[in-house]
Structure 1
Amino acid sequence: MTTRPKIAIIGGGPGGLMLARLLLLRGLEPTVFERDRHAGDRPQGGSLDLHAETGQQAIARAGLEAEFRAVARPEDQGDRLYDQNGTLLFDRDGAGDNRPEVDRTALRQILLGSLAPMTLRWASKVDAVTPIEAGGFDVVVDGISERFDIVIGADGAWSRVRALLSDARPLYEGVTLVEFGFAAERHPDVDGLVGSGKMFAVGDNRVLIAQRNGHRHIRGYAGLRLPEAEARGWMSLGDDRIRAMLRDRFAGWAPSLVHLIDSGELIAVRPLYALPIDHSWQSRVGLTLLGDAAHLMSPFGGEGVNLALADAVDLADALTSGDGWGAVAAYEAAMMRRARPAAEGAAEGLAGAISAAGVAAVLDQYRQRVEA
């Protein structure tokens, strides 16, 4: 690769933006292609907890610790667990934990504000990435091609870039989440239910979740097992119909819990997908992946954004090491080794939280974490 390669990063999520920031700090000028028209174009998701050895380390390497501390919420690290009758089985405030929460939107804003002008191109949905015989790749947006030496797929679950490296596609995990939003001041009952972080209410193959976000906002989720075709059908239904079906599925649960379904603003229906746990590819000069494009997993492990940020750190090191593409191939191998146990844990977390065993196994996991 040349001394100053022309680099395209496809996708403006946390991983892609972190990589862009780190490369800019090292004198490179990457271009980030983002399909959104602007930062507020669509909801960015709920709260994230950044881990010391991955997410927080990336923030430090990017020189953004002060900005992160200004929006992080260390007070929101608690856990509560209820059974389906509304009985509180576990309550821990999380004080002293080193996994501060931050809204995904706030994290994205920090990263966007750290980039040089013209680094990110809004409203740039990539139609194709095409190899060039002489080397490099054409990135095609709205029929216009631009040549790059290196293309990095940070384009999430349904990555276009991944198709040039791997035949793998995300597989439905059998579980769908219906997402709700609550303003805490308008929903004091939900506010009281959540405690100082997040709550789970677990029953037979069903779960209700609520988590504190910034600005006195709470995100809620109703999770259940559905066939994939049915889950995708739910995505086209109106709010009233979805709520009615959820009330039927959660019949017999405590009214204080079912209230989450009845009172929240319905945001989205989200079938959960994951790449195979052992996903890998043969390294190809000029093309690589990070984050969900490389190792999509369920959110029940809490590792997704942390892995994406760690990927960005390691890939920036590889691209600026002076050791050629071999350094990137080494990054890919190390990333796959790191992602595998996280993906296994996410699959186990999902299977345990939404299972016929109900709440007992989940309570054991909570207690084991405290004792560890």
Structure 2
Amino acid sequence: MTTPVIAIIGAGPCGLTLARLLECKGIDYAVYERDESENTNRAGGSLDIHPETGQRALQECGLFDAFKKYARYDDTVLSLLDKSGKQHLQIGQGRDAPEIDRKELRQILLDAIPKDKTRWGHTLTGATLGEDGRPVLQFANGVVVSGFKLVVGTDGAWSKVRPLLTQATPQYSGKTYLEARINLDSPLYETLSKSRGAGTTISVGSGTPIITQRQGNGSYRTYFGLPVPADFFKSGGKVGLQDAEATRGLLLSDFYADGWSDDHKALIRHATDFRTWPLYSLSAEDMNWTPVPGATLAGDAAHLAMPNGEGVNLAMTDALNLADKIAEHGVENIDLAVREYEQEMFPRGEETISEGKAMTGIMYGEDPQPFVEIFSAFGAGGDGEEGEH
């Protein structure tokens, strides 16, 4: 295969949005993705897509009509409870920030670029600068590629492209979400669908929040917030996730024993498909690196933040702004385009990192009142995922 002008590392929403925009602008590119095929069943929750960011990017991609076929406008509602089950706030009905499953958003974008533009089964293991000062990419399958005018790391929290630009590394927040599912065949499903209904329910109390969110197929994804070490659920830890019954027992005895309602405890008793989501973040001070010819970052690779409702929207905005800069200056001046993109991206990154830390502090609080004040002031719901986690 010939070396493309631009290499995009990672076929998540950020990388694929960039790919589609470059396709529309007639700029050569290829996407390198670790999954073996587009049918890989990678986990991912539901995302709310905002009008001035994610929706705008989809409009520029010419994909807004395709998006609307899957967009769930009835899932914009957000309810806020305390641990006893008392509702303190419900907002978001009719808000222009519809939900879509991450898998569906990815497929819309994949379908909009030629099949031969995605190089499946390419797990990036390292990126170095060659003798010409431009990136050289090494993949786990033995492929080594160079000669790009630009490599864009859209490869998430643990980006292998990031070390080309900065020594910044994500730091653990001391907080983890333990994700679980209530599927359609669960004995709890009918009761939960009546009590929770559409949208997202956030329950705050005792520093251990519970988030329940309806998915596109009607099932519910639940996140149990835990202030634990990053390796708490790893092999050799207190309990392994492969023992679901022990995991449920741990949650009920150590974290949600006191004061949580029976409805909340039922979520634990019927939880399945556990996986962990430790919350890492870059720092606001990391948003200032010296430009490196031929390389840049976007999305979580650039400005990993803790959940704050903006993850995927900000990533898609990065893709839109970078594509616009490249089209404006041309590939012959691509380093200038990247410098301008990065200078505009840094303030966005600083803001989302700071907001993520503040939001997580409130989410892991003792009671929902600070959340009531925030949501009453802004009237906005939350993004059910990290974005490119």
Aligned partner of 2:207: which letter?
N
2:169 counterpart of 1:163: no
Secondary structure of 2:329 counterpart: coil
Retained in 1: the 8 A contact 2:10–2:33? Answer: yes
Residues 103-133 of structure 1, C-alpha deviations (whole Å, 9 max, x = no match): 1000000001001121111111012222121
Q: 1:200 to 1:54 in 2, by over 3 A?
A: same
Question: Which residue of 2 is the match for residue 127 of structure 1?
Answer: 125
Alpha-carbon distance in structure 1 between the residues aligned to 2:271 and 2:39: 21
Of the three residues 299, 313, 316, the one matched with 1:291 is: 299
Residues 147-198 of structure 1, C-alpha deviations (whole Å, 9 max, x = no match): 2221110100000100111111111111111111123464012212323310
Q: Please say which of residues 110-119 and 137-146 is displaced more in the overlay.
A: 137-146
Question: Which residue of 2 is the match for residue 209 of structure 1?
Answer: 211
Alpha-carbon distance in structure 2 between the residues aligned to 1:344 and 1:283: 23
2:357 counterpart of 1:361: no
Of the three residues 242, 251, 254, the one matched with 2:257 is: 251
Alpha-carbon distance in structure 2 between the residues aligned to 1:123 and 1:302: 31
Retained in 1: the 8 A contact 2:164–2:292? Answer: no
Residues 67-119 of structure 1, C-alpha deviations (whole Å, 9 max, x = no match): 00000011100011111111222223x23311111110000000010011211
What is the 5 A alignment of 1:93-112? 94-112=92-110
2:355 counterpart of 1:328: no
Percent of aligned pairs sharing the same letter: 36
Aligned partner of 1:247: which letter?
L
Retained in 2: the 8 A contact 1:36–1:42? Answer: no
Retained in 1: the 8 A contact 2:127–2:137? Answer: yes
Secondary structure of 1:167 counterpart: coil
What is the 5 A alignment of 1:1-372? 6-92=5-91, 94-141=92-139, 142-147=141-146, 148-184=148-184, 186=186, 187-232=189-234, 233=237, 236-237=240-241, 238-248=243-253, 249-252=255-258, 253-280=260-287, 281-299=289-307, 301-322=308-329, 324=333, 325-355=335-365, 357-370=366-379
Aligned partner of 1:22: which letter?
L
Retained in 1: the 8 A contact 2:74–2:94? Answer: no
Secondary structure of 2:266 counterpart: helix
Secondary structure of 2:301 counterpart: helix
Retained in 2: the 8 A contact 1:52–1:99? Answer: yes
Q: 1:175 to 1:315 in 2, by over 3 A?
A: same
Retained in 1: the 8 A contact 2:233–2:240? Answer: no
Residues 303-353 of structure 1, C-alpha deviations (whole Å, 9 max, x = no match): 110011000001111222226212211110111112222221111111001
Retained in 2: the 8 A contact 1:279–1:294? Answer: no
Alpha-carbon distance in structure 2 between the residues aligned to 1:358 and 1:87: 11
User: TM (normalized to structure 1)?
Assistant: 0.93
Alpha-carbon distance in structure 2 between the residues aligned to 1:314 and 1:202: 36
Q: CA deviation at 1:262?
A: 1.3
Retained in 2: the 8 A contact 1:135–1:149? Answer: no
Aligned partner of 1:98: which letter?
D
Q: 1:217 to 1:39 in 2, by over 3 A?
A: farther
Q: CA deviation at 1:360?
A: 2.1
Q: 1:256 to 1:52 in 2, by over 3 A?
A: same
Question: What is the Cα-based RMSD across aligned positions, in Å?
Answer: 1.8
User: TM (normalized to structure 2)?
Assistant: 0.89
Secondary structure of 1:230 counterpart: coil
Aligned partner of 1:77: which letter?
T
Retained in 2: the 8 A contact 1:86–1:256? Answer: yes
Secondary structure of 1:139 counterpart: strand
Residues 212-236 of structure 1, C-alpha deviations (whole Å, 9 max, x = no match): 1101121111102112343544684
Alpha-carbon distance in structure 1 between the residues aligned to 2:283 and 2:358: 14
Retained in 2: the 8 A contact 1:5–1:150? Answer: no
Aligned partner of 1:304: which letter?
G
Residues 230-281 of structure 1, C-alpha deviations (whole Å, 9 max, x = no match): 3544684422222111111100211111111111223311111111123221
Could you tell me which runs of 5 or more consecutive residues in structure 2 were left unpaired when the two chains were aligned: 381-389
Secondary structure of 1:43 counterpart: coil
Q: CA deviation at 1:135?
A: 4.3
